[in-house]
Amino acid sequence: MKICDVLQREAILDDLKAQNKKGILEELVVPVARIAGVQQEELVRVLMERERLGSTGIGGGIGIPHGKLKALESLVLGFGLSRRGVDFESIDGQPTHIFFILITPENSTGLHLKLLARISRILKNDSFKQRLMHASDGDEIYRIIKEEDQEF
């Protein structure tokens, strides 16, 4: 499965404004909740519960908040870019700029893990991360992700 098989253009936020973890999650869930047909508050609750287990700020300026929702029919992926960076309690203590948010149905562990692994793999490419950071808008971000997604 490719990232762009799941990531919809309208789920890409190119200028996150929040300066803390909960605020970032509240911003990220807006388009994802609309696409999935679920309540934003429910998504934030699920994501915050997952964050309490350990931060999804994986270091290198990257956060991959994720969670499972019983009422969901298929997985939903979103993207957000914080140009200033935010304290997301990342494992390296550095600000987080690039976010992929993944919400999956409760019973789809395999798919969930495959997509997380794919996202993690492409984010190891520093030039890819730099291109995302300098993208001018959501359309450019989508093109950059699609190009990189073809490589793997």
Q: What is the pLDDT of residues 61-113, one digit of tens each?
A: 999 999 999 888 889 999 999 999 999 999 999 999 999 999 999 887 788 88
Number of domains, the chain? 1
CATH number, domain containing residue 129? 3.40.930.10
Domain presence at residue 152 = no
Domain presence at residue 151 = no
For residue 54, pLDDT over 90 is answered with yes
The residues assigned a catalytic role are: 66
Domain presence at residue 94 = yes
Tell me what percent of the residues of the chain surpass a pLDDT of 90: 84
Calculate mean pLDDT across residues 14-39: 96
Domain encompassing residue 24: 3-146
Domain presence at residue 64 = yes
57: nearest Cα among 47, 49, 65, 66: 65
Domain presence at residue 15 = yes
Instruction: Tell me what the pLDDT averaged over the chain comes to.
Output: 94
Amino acid at 148: E
Domain presence at residue 95 = yes
Domain presence at residue 91 = yes
Domain presence at residue 63 = yes
Determine the pLDDT at residue 107.
83
Tell me what percent of the residues of the chain surpass a pLDDT of 70: 99
66: nearest Cα among 82, 46, 86: 46
pTM: 0.95
For residue 152, pLDDT over 80 is answered with no
Token couple for 15: 């200028």
Which residues, at least 6 apart from 108, have a Cβ–Cβ distance to it below 8 Å? 68, 75
